[in-house]
Amino acid sequence: MLREIGVSSVEELFHDIPERFRNARFSLPPPLSELELKKELAQLANLNANLDDYACFLGAGSYRHFIPSVVEHIIGRSEFYTAYTPYQAEVSQGTLQSVYEYQSLICQLTRMEVSNAGMYDGSTSAAEAAMMACAITSRNTVAVLATVNPTYRDVLDTYCRGKSLSLVALESESSSLPADCACLIIQQPNFLGYFEQLDAYVQKAHDAGALLIAIVDPTSLGMFKPPGDYGVDIAVAEGQPLGIPVSFGGPYLGIFACRKEYVRRMPGRIVGKTVDVDGNPGYVMTLVTREQYIRRERATSNICTSQALMALAAAVYLAAVGKRGLRQVAELCYHKAHYAARAIGKLKGYSLVFPQPFFKEFAIRCPVPPSQINEVLFRERIIGGLDISHLIDNGMLLCVTEVNTRQDIDRLVKTLGSS
Amino acid sequence: MKRHCLLPDISQPGRIGCSLPDLDVPSGDLPPEELLRQELELPEVSEVDLVRYFTALSKLNYGVDTGFYPLGSCTMKYNPKSHEDIARLPGFTALHPCQPEESVQGALELMYRLQEYLTEVTGMDATSLAPLAGAHGELAGLLMLKAYHEGRGDKARTKILLTDSSHGTNPASVAMCGLETGVVASDASGDLGLKNLESMMTEEVAALTLTMPSTLGLFDPKINEIAQLVHERGGLLGGDGANLNALLGQAKFGELGFDYVQLNLHKTFSTPHGGGGPGSGPVCVRESMVDFLPTPLVTGDNGRYRFSSPPRTIGRIATFHGNFNVMVKAYAYARSLGPKELKRISEDAVLNANYLKEKLKPYYHLPYDRTCMHEVVFSGKKQKAKGIATLDIAKRLLDYGLHPPTVYFPLIVSGALMTEPTETESKETLDNYIAAMKEIARDAEENPEILHSAPRNTPVRRLDDARAFRQLDLRWEIKSQKK
Ligand SMILES: Cc1ncc(COP(=O)(O)O)c(C=O)c1O
């Protein structure tokens, strides 16, 4: 090959790199063979307390749900996972049609009119929705309800500072919206688990000429009223609960759906159905003039590589559980969480913080700091709830889903009672 | 199963594709009626039908495991299977991001070591793994440099210079940070025009961002002069490190004068692209910018690892700690590479690209005829003269069972064919591609119709983009069957 190229060594091919920078020193550990690699990484994996061996009651934006094996098997097909963005539609119909299925399923689930092909995660979806609302309304203030997940608010803050937008926290229902408000962002159910008066907020936002962005829990929609039925303008969600493992925080999936009139303002990829030259149906990426590779600095977002494989997982999950299954999952979460809450509420020193209806997460007040309680729980192979004592005195946020058995819940309650 | 069907077509009332447990606790009161959903219309599909449906779809796809995938700028290298197995260990997948740090020491150690590894490979001082893709890393880099200048009390620097060959995400990221772009034109040899830079590098300029090597697959020999000029004028030099593959084991961004660089682990570090993600886009920075890194970082102290947040961080850019499971694969890849193997990657990638360049040069116009790095950009100019579009060439490649190069990018090469073979391809694979490209060049002369009407051997033929755009059909709908 060198001869064909007309050089005598590979080094010659690097002659454009100035001499002084070439042959930099790299101090790296010696390489591992496949056998050694598997061993070393298994050792690292074994240093972690994996949740297959623990009862876990953490939620707060990442949720353990049952994942049918079929999901892993389908996304594990290398025709899906070793492809890239479907730039050549003729040999990417598998990805493209799956995205069309995903978009359709998300619309059915949320009762919104259009969905894109997915964003990075729930919080970046919310931030992009805020940017989009500012572009639509030509306004520069983003209002966020104080009960939105604090990490989402942090991400919103980062994005807003970047774009010099002001981010205003709305403390309660009675607070009024700031002038120049582009959107109001609320979470349903909220970070603390309970349901907000979403209709009132939609009204409030619309009265002020602002858009209402709702962050929803996709699993809750198996049972609870979807954002489309509230007249929400943009619905975003963390898609991880739909067939994606908790994986220490990623990769996840940002669900992003909105009213049809805003489709040309949407960030991210969108797949549309069309026909080929023979009149056969097929799928392509469409509305690409919104995207960075065509529109550069005037694009609706900078997003390029997203989380396509995770969108496929969500589509397969939704199809596998289907109409009946999603409702069943939601009801299991609801009843188990309420069973746990009732039992904990009866324990001496413990109380439920909020009286409002909730889905699968709820805040409790503990008799002692939650960090102490979590240590006791951990010794019993239970991972307790999120410590929210910075928000609520001795507060803990618990999450119960269908993967928590009655035995797990009873063990939790018993250990709480004795600590 | 019929071709062209969708999920609603294989849905039958009462079916389900998995089995769920019964409720094992007493059920309580239902929430107020007004909170409840009236109807839920999702498909009802059996497991076997679901598997067959998606298996059929997968067969319509082309991946790296299917064949040669020289999609320029995307580094479609082969992804070792062992990494997939490793990433599926429950000790990595069944970890909640909010678990106590003591219970996830292995995960934190892995992140810490990957940070260290990337810091060393790029010659920088620190790395944050938080960004979720390349463009997300670009955004982080720009937010950091904004914070850096503002921290020095310099608020006038609101402009970012980029080259005309830069990737679309570069200017789009600039816009997301509320900054302006200035485009520095390339010179005749495809490098940055130093004279142009000289005149544009004013006190309004916060940074120049460069892709290194460039999207033309070229290493700019004036990098030292460029870095000096930018720094002398008070700006920073930012790097788009999507093309790191060409520099592995050769040169370091830090030594070349870059202040920060974002990497694409889904390219260089061999994590599969997933049909468009997930990726991971770490940012590596020099000392002066360490304090601004996005949160979280992992710090290690006497074998204990914990999350930390830099003192003047730009903040949180994603819900949790980054695409952890992608990091596992990237780390597995990194651990299989010592300094020698690392260098071998860039050598083979550059050798393969130059081989393609020499072999195809007689047949396709080569706008920058010089040694290339990991990719070579041809143009369809010769064929265009015969009425053949670059798109026709790409579509004809599909008939050979090959994936085409990236087309029509970078924008400064008209009808570009941006070809990146990567290091994992053998000479035989390259020769097979070369033979196909030669035949296509010949057909362009002698049998143009075969190109215009390509592809013929694919699951669908050329699709009507205009119709997709005009008659938006973005979903199916199952209407509720309420009584
Ligand atoms: C040169 C270059 N820069 C930036 C990006 C953006 O990276 P990502 O797609 O991971 O956001 C890409 C790839 O898509 C690229 O090729």
Q: Which of residues 70-129 of A touch B (CB under 8 A)?
A: 70, 72-74, 76-95, 97-98, 100-101, 103-105, 107-109, 114-115, 117, 120-124
The pair of three-digit structure tokens given for residue B459, joined into one six-digit string: 């699951």
Residues 6+ apart with CB under 8 A from A136: A182, A211, A262, A265
Q: So what's the pLDDT on residue B245?
A: 97
Comparing CB atoms, the residue among A45, A84, A293 nearest residue B409 is A293
The pair of three-digit structure tokens given for residue A118, joined into one six-digit string: 């997915």
The answer to whether the CB of B261 is under 6 A from ligand 1 is: no
pLDDT at residue B480 greater than cutoff 90: no
From CA B207, how far away is CA B145, in angstroms rounded? Answer: 8
Atom in ligand 1 nearest the alpha carbon of residue B136: 11
- Residue A120: list chain B partners with CB under 8 A: 132-133, 136, 277, 318
Q: So what's the pLDDT on residue B483?
A: 42
Comparing CB atoms, the residue among A32, A223, A336 nearest residue B25 is A336
Q: Are strands A254-258 and A114-115 parallel, antiparallel or unpaired?
A: antiparallel
SS (H, E, C) A227-242: HHHHCCCEEEEECCCC
Q: Decide if A93 is inside a domain.
A: yes
Atom in ligand 1 nearest the alpha carbon of residue B74: 16
CATH number of the domain to which A143 belongs: 3.40.640.10
Contact between A44 and B97 using a beta-carbon 8 Å cutoff: no
Same domain, A186 and A101: yes
Of A275, A294, A317, which residue constitutes the final position of a domain? A317
From CA A402, how far away is CA A336, in angstroms rounded? Answer: 7
Report cis status (omega within 30 of 0) of the bond before B410.
Answer: yes
Sign of the torsion formed by the C-alpha atoms of B249, B254, B255 and B257: positive
Task: Give Cα separations from B388 to A344, B416, B439, B447 (angstroms).
Answer: 73, 13, 14, 11
Q: So what's the pLDDT on residue A417?
A: 94
Instruction: Examine the predicted complex and report whether its ipTM is higher than 0.95.
Output: yes
Q: Decide if B201 is inside a domain.
A: yes
> At which residue do the structure tokens 């492809």 appear?
A83
Q: Decide if A34 is inside a domain.
A: no
B376-379 sheet: strands from edge to edge:
B376-379, B416-419, B406-407
Residues 6+ apart with CB under 8 A from A124: A155, A159, A254, B132, B136, B317, B318, B319
Q: So what's the pLDDT on residue B3?
A: 75
Contact between B318 and A58 using a beta-carbon 8 Å cutoff: no
Q: Is A354 on the interface with B (CB under 8 A)?
A: no
Q: Over the stretch A75-129, which tens digit does the pLDDT of each residue have?
A: 999 999 999 999 999 999 999 999 999 999 999 999 999 999 999 999 999 999 9
Same domain, A114 and A191: yes
Give the three-class secondary structure for A283. Answer: strand
Q: Decide if B264 is inside a domain.
A: yes
Q: Decide if A294 is inside a domain.
A: yes
pLDDT at residue B471 greater than cutoff 80: yes
Q: So what's the pLDDT on residue B146?
A: 96
Q: Give exposure, A177-194, as e/b (b: 16+ Cβ within 10 Å).
A: bbebbbbbbbbbbbbbbb
* Å between A307 CA and nearest CA of chain B: 4
Q: Decide if A74 is inside a domain.
A: yes
Q: So what's the pLDDT on residue A19?
A: 95
Same domain, A170 and A238: yes
Q: So what's the pLDDT on residue B4?
A: 82
Q: Decide if B462 is inside a domain.
A: no
Q: For residue B42, which of B11, B21, B17 has the smallest C-alpha distance?
A: B11
- Residue A314: list chain B partners with CB under 8 A: none
3-state percent breakdown (helix, strand, coil) of chain B, nearest 5: 40, 15, 50
Contact between B339 and A4 using a beta-carbon 8 Å cutoff: no
Same domain, A210 and A336: no
Q: So what's the pLDDT on residue A175?
A: 86
Q: Which range marks the domain in which residue A257 is found?
A: 69-317
| Domains: count for chain B | 1
Q: Answer whether B258's CB lies under 8 Å from B71's CB.
A: no
Same domain, A173 and A224: yes
The answer to whether the CB of B133 is under 6 A from ligand 1 is: yes
Q: Decide if B361 is inside a domain.
A: no
Same domain, A287 and A182: yes
From CA A364, how far away is CA A350, in angstroms rounded? Answer: 7
The pair of three-digit structure tokens given for residue B179, joined into one six-digit string: 């900054």
Q: Decide if A120 is inside a domain.
A: yes
Q: Answer whether B278's CB lies under 8 Å from B272's CB.
A: no
Report cis status (omega within 30 of 0) of the bond before B213.
Answer: yes
* Mean pLDDT by groups of 10 residues along chain A of 419 residues: 96 96 93 97 98 97 98 98 97 98 98 98 98 98 98 98 95 88 98 97 97 98 98 98 98 98 97 97 94 88 96 98 98 98 98 98 98 97 98 98 98 94
State in Å, rounded, how far the first CA of chain B is from the last one. Answer: 31
Q: Decide if B41 is inside a domain.
A: no
Q: Decide if A16 is inside a domain.
A: no
| Domains: count for chain A | 2
pLDDT at residue B482 greater than cutoff 90: no
Same domain, A62 and A87: no
Q: Decide if A284 is inside a domain.
A: yes
Q: Answer whether A364's CB lies under 8 Å from A344's CB.
A: yes
Same domain, A296 and A409: no
Which DSSP helix (H) or strand (E) runs through A333?
helix A308-345
The answer to whether the CB of B145 is under 6 A from ligand 1 is: no
CA-proximal residue: ligand 1, atom 8 (nearest) = B134
Q: Decide if A30 is inside a domain.
A: no
Q: Decide if B476 is inside a domain.
A: no
How many residues belong to chain B?
483
Q: For residue A329, which of A217, A194, A214 has the smallest C-alpha distance?
A: A217
The answer to whether the CB of B127 is under 6 A from ligand 1 is: no
Q: Answer whether B332's CB lies under 8 Å from B188's CB.
A: no
Contact between A1 and B351 using a beta-carbon 8 Å cutoff: yes
CATH number of the domain to which A367 belongs: 3.90.1150.10
From CA A405, how far away is CA A400, in angstroms rounded? Answer: 9
Q: Answer whether B406's CB lies under 8 Å from B415's CB.
A: no
The pair of three-digit structure tokens given for residue A336, joined into one six-digit string: 């188990």
Comparing CB atoms, the residue among B24, B335, B455 nearest residue A405 is B24
CATH number of the domain to which B247 belongs: 3.40.640.10
Q: Which range marks the domain in which residue B167 is found?
A: 81-337
Q: Decide if B410 is inside a domain.
A: no
Same domain, A301 and A368: no
Give the percent of chain B with pLDDT over 90.
98
Q: Decide if B424 is inside a domain.
A: no
Q: Where are the beta strands (DSSP E) in B204-250?
A: 205-211, 236-241
Q: Write down the H helix ranges in B336-380.
A: 339-360
Give the percent of chain A with pLDDT over 70.
100
Same domain, A380 and A296: no
Same domain, A160 and A141: yes
pTM for the structure as a whole: 0.98
Same domain, A61 and A115: no
